[in-house]
A and B are shown apart, each in its own frame.
Chain A
Amino acid sequence: MNNKRFWILGLLVSVIIAGVVSYYASSHPDGLEKAAEEVGFIGDAQDSAVADSPLADYGVSGVEDERLSVGLAGVLGVLVMVVVAGGGFMLLARKPKQRN
């Protein structure tokens, strides 16, 4: 597969997973939450300091439609990841120019 196609496909798959497929994710508690419920320490959990942020829990506050809300949050997350992780790794890998 040529270079360009590989990257476009990788990004496209990520956008579709975060933007579309995410709506169909299971909403059951995850393994840790379930364990905390079973054992009894789920009540110790506190809200995150950013629990009121506009994207908390993978939804855009103010967007009523559930599918749109989680999809938008996912796509925004992917964009931020592209900038932060993509940019970060490129900077990290940049070798200082050799001095003569």
Chain B
Amino acid sequence: MHIPDGFIDAPTSAIFGAASVAGVAVSLRGARKQLDERAAPLAGLVAVFIFAVQMINFPVGAGTSGHLMGGALAMVLVGPHAAVLAVTVVLIVQALMFADGGLSALGLNVFNLALVGVWSAYVLYALLRLILPKVRSSVVVGSFVAALVSVPVAAVGFVGQYAIGGSEVFGLGAVFSAMFGTHVLIGIGEAFITALTVSSVLSSRQDLVFGWKAPLRSPVEV
């Protein structure tokens, strides 16, 4: 879902660029507080892993593909603040080194994939943790659902950006319906990759998993 340059006009890209800078700044402060020298290497590894897995586009029906966003995965493993930073680093490296996602669109992409992707997954995961039994498998179930939902939510983020700064030739309803259904399907792929990865890390190093050990008492408490 990397937006190229040109889809969204420059003023809108600049506004979302500023919003993304603010969101990343918040997470820099949050992650500095939250991460210790034991958790930091996992955050780094998660960013590396997301970069690698994002190279794998999987087919989702007729002539369309999708790949992992990684926000929910990173959130469950290392917490929302470090997750925002991890996905942001991936997007910056992709845009600068690989011309994947536009340069002026970087703020738009960080907004959708890092901020919206991570925080929507976080809120949903925190709510699920209140309901689900306090067992390890709940972490996997919660990851699955949070990952699945975070993808169409991020796609709606794009539709919002398109509403503000996209070409006025095309109706928003058409953009929404073209985006939403496909990204529910991509979300299912996201959910499986996320649940599989989370359960692998849980079974080998559960002591490192934020979504298992962190006291998530309410969705707003970070």
Contacts and interface: CB of A to CB of B under 8 A. Distances in A.
A92 B95 CA distance: 23
B66 A89 contact: no
Contacts, number: 214
Contacts of B170: 39-41
Interface residue range, chain B: 35 or more
Contact of A17 (B45, B55, B178): B55
Nearest to B187: A31
Contacts of B182: 31, 34-35
Given A35-B178, A90-B41, A41 B7 contact: yes
Prevailing SS type, chain B contact patch: helix
Nearest to A44: B6
A36 B162 CA distance: 11
B51 A81 contact: yes
B43 to A, nearest CB: 4
Interface of B: 1-7, 28, 31-32, 35-37, 39-41, 43-45, 47-49, 51-53, 55-60, 63-67, 82, 85-86, 89-90, 93-103, 155, 158, 166-167, 169-170, 174-175, 178-179, 182-183, 185-186, 204-205
